[in-house]
Each structure stands twice: as structure tokens, then as C-alpha cells.
Structure 1
Amino acid sequence: MNQFKLDNERALITGGGSGIGRAIAESFIEAGAEVVITGRRAELLEETCSELGAKSAYYVSDVADYDANAKLLERIENELGPISILVNNAGVHQKKDALETSEEEFEQLMSVHVTGAFSLARHAAKGMIERGHGSILFIASMSSFMAIPSIVSYSSAKTAVLGTMRALAAEWSAQGVRVNAIAPGWIETAMSRKALNNAPDRKRKILERTPMNRLGQVEEIGTAATFLCSPAAGFITGACLPVDGGASVGF
């Protein structure tokens, strides 16, 4: 079972204050890692860290501020130590018909999910490559694989995430840095619960096309992330693991 441990690892998790990011942080800590969570809301991050305990820290940061990303990694390394795991989890969503989506709105999602995530990966990988050890995890989506109406910006960004992940895996894996992704299915969070409770037909449709006939739990994304960043996944790179109850293969 030591192969599934994250002892002596320090993970940076963007968007770690709530939802999937927080669940990943909790799972990492349980596996022995120290975690650093980031986000734009200081109060939420502080509250989350107080609940995560002594093996957690937080920094207020916006992944779309490219100039700040290098400074963030430098500050963490100087104050806490080197980062050996990066989880690019931060994201924004937008539901809008394509004809009503402006170029600026389209670029906004790309700046967070793709360019911002690449920026952090690039800066984090420098130290990982020097040390010959590291793991970078992107959070993809069901919309990386399937066409879903009215989310053209989100779908485009999440599809690009997979291309970025594969390219980085091909370039950095021989230098000791594995790069992978998780594609969550429909996961039960406070936000999704509220949305689906107000749209029973949509919830029914989701469950009908999910072979396991239920929504996923954030903890199930956390344990999958822990596996992919652990020694147990030491020969896995360039892969996207769907954690979706079979939704990507369901009818």
C-alpha cells in the first residue's frame, strides 16, 4: 500500500477552496502529502485550511494572471519548499448559446482553463525537471469528449486541456515529470445539486445515460487524483482517466 502514499510530496492545487479541489486536497493529506491551495477568495481559502489542518497552506492567486504565476511558485518554494505535484483544477463555467457568446467571453474561459493552466505547469515543471521528479494533473471534463449544447467556450477549453496535457507528457515524461488528466462525470457538489434540483428533467437525462445510475462524489475524484499522482501510477503518463460512472461510454 506504500505505493499509494504521497509522503514527502508537496502539492499545489488551484481552486482548492471547495468542491473537487478541496476533495483532492483532503485525499492528498490523508495519503501523507502537504498541500497548498489557491483561489481568488481569501476568506474561503482560510476557512478551508483551518479545516484541512496543519499540513495545508493557502495563497490568494488568479491563474489567469500569467505574470503572477511565476512569482507564486517562487514564493511557495521560498516559504514552504519545492512543489512536486501540481493539480490544475481552477475553472469557470459559462452556459450560453454559441451565437450569443462573444469572442471576449470565449477567450476568458481559455485564459483560465488552458493558458493559465499551461502557465502554471510551465513554471512548476522547471523545478520538477531539475529534481527529476514531479506529477502534473489537469482536470478535464465530459465535454472534452462529447458535444453538449450551449457550452461552446467551456467545451473548447476542456478539449484543449487534453491536447495540452498530451503534448507536455510527450515532452517532459523522460525528464521525470508525469502529466495526466482526470475527466469527471456529473459530480454532486453544492452547485450541481442546486442546479439539478431545479431541473428534474435534466437530472433524469444525466442518470439515464450514466450506467451506474448515480452522480459521482467529490471524494471519488480525490482518490483518483491521489492514485494518478502516487508511485502506484509510476508508468502512467499522457492519460486521461474518466471518473464518470460510465457516462462517457453510456447511451
Structure 2
Amino acid sequence: MSVKEQAGTTAVVTGVGRGFGRATAAAFVSAGARVVGLGRDVEVLEKLRAELGDAFLPVRGDAADPDLATELLRRHTPATVVLSAGAAPVMRPVQDHTWDTFRANWEVDVRQVFHWVRAALLMPLPPGSTVVAFSSGAALRGSPLSGGYAGAKATVRFLSEYAAAESRRHALGIRFRAVLPALSPTTDLGTEAAAAYAAYQGVAADAFVRAMGPLLTPEKVGEVMVALAADPARDQAQDAVSYTLSAGGLQPV
């Protein structure tokens, strides 16, 4: 499927209220897809509907709700699912976390991906469908100020790998992908993280950001998500399921 062939298909995108999820929804609409966008904030969803038009169907709900995942997959039979919702990690050293702040990303990010990939396999989605889950570069390098975030994002990657193996084992033809984006202060979450790590290292925030080099933007992420969903060549059994994503593009892990 080429990028142009996204026209007339349906994509479900979670976490459309901000950052990479919002940019992904906009990119799929621009590619001609109908987007079912899931978020928690009604006002934000309605603003996005006004911006993107009738091709965007807002749905208010919890992306980690297993019943909602099953309902939306059955109702819309999407060609693409992009799992972008996640908890904003509390930025503090490990000794200053409580268990509640430490586990936040397990309860949202991991629960979401578990329920959606499980529903996609059990339904199952039609052959050629693509399910993309946002992990993080922190899954490879750790993230000492964000509690359980890095471990949760590593588990998101593993879940995608497990689901891809099950799709191959049962000849379902569903593509499962995990994308591990680099830290990017072009989003609210990334700005907060960059500021926290700059302070932790005792450097100015602008100097910390300059040292990062070219920055991954939400617009780049949206473009890559559409291209990734449209590229059947990435469905070969030998190909990677997991990819890092930087300003330079995707690289297999």
C-alpha cells in the first residue's frame, strides 16, 4: 500500500490530544484516511475536529480500557492503529518517587498496548492491517528521572514483538511495529524532560537542547507513521519489528 492508498482507509489513533498523537492524526487525514481519534479531553477533541474536518471522528475515552479497544476495532475495522496515548512521567530521582508516581506508565502505556494488541489478535484485524505502538528511546538507554517510564516503554516494545510473532505463527498477516522516538523538546512532554535533565546535569536548558543536534518534530513523526503503515515491504519475517526514530528517520533496532 502506497501513502496515496491511505485514501479511503480508516486509522484509529490514541492520544490525539497532544504531541506525536495529534500530529499522527493530522498526517493520516492529510493522506486521505478517516481518523478515529481517541482522547480524554472533550474540548481538545472538538478543537481538533474543527481543525481536521469531517475526516476526523473524535472519541472521548480511556485508551487503556479493554472494552473500548475491542469496540472500536470491531466497529471501524481500521487498516491502521497507532497507539500514542501515555502517561506523562513525573520527573524526579528514584528516591523521590512514590510507588504511585513510579508505576504510572505501566498502568497507562503498557495496559493500553496490551489490550489493543490482544484485541487485534483475537478479532483478528484483516490481513495487511498495521498496529504501531509508541515505545521510547529510553527503552534502550534508561531514564533515571522518570520512574518506571523506561521499563514500561521496553515492555511496550516486547509486546509488539510478541504480537508480531503470534501474527506470523497463525498466518494472520497483521503487522505489529514498535517505534522508539528520540527525546524531543518540540513537544510539551519532551520540553519538560529536557529541562529536568538539564537541571540534573547542571547545564542551561537551551545548551542541553543545542547539544542534542537535529530535533525530531511532531510533523516528522506523523509523516513517518503514515509511511510505516503504508509500506508492506516491512512485513517480511526477517525484518525488524522495532525501530528507533530520530530526525534522520527510522532505523531497525
TM-score range, shorter chain: 0.7 to 0.9
Q: Secondary structure of the residue that 2:177 maps to in structure 1?
A: strand
Of residues 186, 189, 202, the one that matches 2:187 is 189
Matched, 1:244 2:246: yes
Equivalent runs, 1:55-204 vs 2, <5 Å: 55-74=55-74, 77=75, 81-94=76-89, 95-129=91-125, 131-173=126-168, 174-187=171-184, 188-193=186-191, 201-204=204-207
Tell me, in whole angstroms, the C-alpha distance in 2 between the residues paired with 1:247 and 1:73: 29
Residues 214 and 241 of structure 1, relative CA distance in 2, 3 Å threshold: same
For 2:249 and 2:229, locate their aligned partners in 1 and report how far apart those are by CA, in whole Å: 24
The alignment of Structure 1 onto Structure 2 pairs a total of residues equal to: 239
Q: Matched residues in 1 for 2:187 and 2:134: separation?
A: 16
Cα deviation, residue 113, structure 1: 0.9
Measure the CA separation in 2 of the matches of 1:127 and 1:36.
18
Q: Which segments of 5 or more consecutive residues in structure 1 lack a partner in the other structure?
A: none
Following superposition, the deviation at residue 50 of structure 1 comes to 1.3
Q: What letter corresponds to residue 204 of structure 1 in structure 2?
A: A
Deviation at 1:28, TM superposition (A): 1.1
4+ residue runs of structure 1 moved beyond 6 angstroms?
A: 246-249
Identity rate, percent: 26
TM score, norm. by length of structure 1? 0.83
CA distance in 1, matches of 2:47, 2:218: 18
- Structure 2: which 5+ residue stretches go unaligned? none
**1:96–1:196 Cα change, 3 Å:** closer
Alpha-carbon offset, residue 26 of structure 1: 1.4
Length-normalised TM-score, structure 2: 0.83
Question: Do 2:88 and 2:189's aligned partners in 1 also have CA atoms closer than 8 Å?
Answer: no
How far apart are 1:20 and its partner, in Å?
0.7
Seen in structure 2, the aligned counterparts of structure 1 residues 190 and 96 have a Cα distance that, compared at 3 Å, is closer
Q: Deviations over 1:105-144 (max 9, x none)?
A: 3333212111222102222344444x32310001111101
Tell me how far apart the structure 2 counterparts of residues 241 and 155 of structure 1 sit (CA, whole Å).
16
Secondary structure (helix, strand or coil) at the match of 1:35 reads strand
Measure the CA separation in 2 of the matches of 1:192 and 1:119.
Answer: 26
Residues 77-104 of structure 1 deviation map (CA, whole Å, 9 limit, x = unaligned): 1xxx322211110011222322333333
Residue type of the alignment partner of 2:128: H
Query: Is the CA contact (8 Å cut-off) linking 2:101 and 2:147 kept in structure 1?
Result: no
Q: Which residue identity lines up with residue 189 of structure 1 in the other structure? A: T
Counterpart amino acid of residue 48 in structure 1: L
Compared CA separation, residues 89 and 229, structure 1 to 2 (3 A) = same
In the other structure, the counterpart of 1:50 is 50
